[in-house]
Amino acid sequence: MLKIFTFLLRIFRLILFIGYYLKELVVSSLYVAYDIITPKDLMRPGFVEVPIDLKNETAVIALVNLISMTPGSLTVDMSPDKKKIYIHAMYLFDKDAFIRKIKNELEDRIRLIFD
């Protein structure tokens, strides 16, 4: 009974995550499109080292791929011990806020699904 409940909880969390990620995908796509069609250049590109705490290798792969699929960001490299990822962001206004968003929103939601 506990296994069924755990499975259903993961499915529910996955559905919530899909909604969250689709919203993030639409918002970032609109932001990039707006920057392209307007004469003002909003870009502030930069590289960020983000520490990750995911233990499950599938969760790490999901995190890296979801970051790369979002317009305006690209996972460039990962440390050999898989504790840090290096991300290129097109709109890097505040490194600390960017790291917090990756850790507190994306990484935590992925952890709820895979761990």
* Rounded mean pLDDT, 69-93: 94
Q: 3 falls in which pLDDT band (50, 70, 90)?
A: confident
Torsion sign over Cα 67, 95, 112, 53: positive
How many whole angstroms separate alpha carbon 77 and alpha carbon 87? 7
pTM of the predicted structure, to 2 decimals? 0.88
The pLDDT assigned to 11 comes to 93
The pLDDT assigned to 115 comes to 76
Q: What is the pLDDT of residues 30-74, one digit of tens each?
A: 999 999 999 988 899 999 999 999 999 999 999 999 999 999 899
Exposed e or buried b for every residue in 10-20, given b needs 16+ CB within 10 A? eeebeeebeee
Domain boundaries, the chain: 2-114
Q: 1 falls in which pLDDT band (50, 70, 90)?
A: confident
Nearest to 75 by CA among 55, 95, 47: 47
Beta bridge partners of 51: 84
